[in-house]
Amino acid sequence: MLIHEGIQQEQSLVITFIKSHISELQQLTTRLSHPQTHSAVHWSPPHPPDVKINFDASFSPRQNKSWSGLIVRNSLGEILGSAYRMGLHIASPFEAEAQALLHGLEFAKDLGFNSVEVEGDSRSVIKKMNETSLDRSRIRSFVIDAKQMAQDFHRCRFTFTGRNGNAAAHAMAALGRRDTEDRFWVDEAPPEATTAADSDRRYIDPP
């Protein structure tokens, strides 16, 4: 028997605790030695003639609701449309993001765009959209609907960006959470999203 914090412990338990503690310290040291460069992540424009639809979601577990934030821009970073939509009977943030992607495709279709890039900061959802195998996850229905709708476009691809590259869509989702109705704008966006989009344009190379 060994003593740890004044309590008798089995030797195997103490050894397990020490190994676990050492592992945590090593992971922490690694993160501190190689900090993630979030500032290096920023929005990038689509290649003409594509337009880019950025999507994000805000989720309320208490209400089982979500709010999709959407913004559409061209290769110059100009806003072509924006929207937020509410989702009901949503069980998780994973489902909220998947529905936001589907809402983004529907919005682009309603606006008449035919060549699109759909981008969000949910790596798992984007990965599902780019897989060819049968999806059996909780978001299967959203994935199936989105893949079917993607076929209606001449060109449609799905890309991942970090949170800093998705600020305008995040602003739209946050605005939707404070509203009671779905809303959309053509060729513009609310001030909060416009400010984020203007900031993104700093990273566009001049023609």
What one-character-per-residue DSSP string does 177-190 give? HT-SS-EEEES---
Q: Is the pLDDT of residue 187 over 50?
A: yes
What residue segments make up the domains of the chain, in order of their start? 2-35, 51-203
Contact 141, 77 (CB under 8 A): no
CA distances from 103 to 70, 108, 168, 193 (A): 8, 9, 16, 18
Other beta carbons less than 10 A from residue 187's beta carbon:
11
Contact 66, 90 (CB under 8 A): yes
Model pLDDT, residue 34? 42
Model pLDDT, residue 105? 98
How do residues 49-58 score in pLDDT, each as one tens digit?
A: 999 999 999 9
Q: Whole-prediction pTM value?
A: 0.80
Quick one: CATH architecture of 51-203? 2-Layer Sandwich (3.30)
Residue 178 token pair:
């404070």
How do residues 128-161 score in pLDDT, each as one tens digit?
A: 999 998 888 899 999 999 999 999 999 999 999 9
CA distances from 97 to 3, 62, 124, 129 (A): 49, 17, 9, 12
Other beta carbons less than 10 A from residue 177's beta carbon:
17
Model pLDDT, residue 8? 52
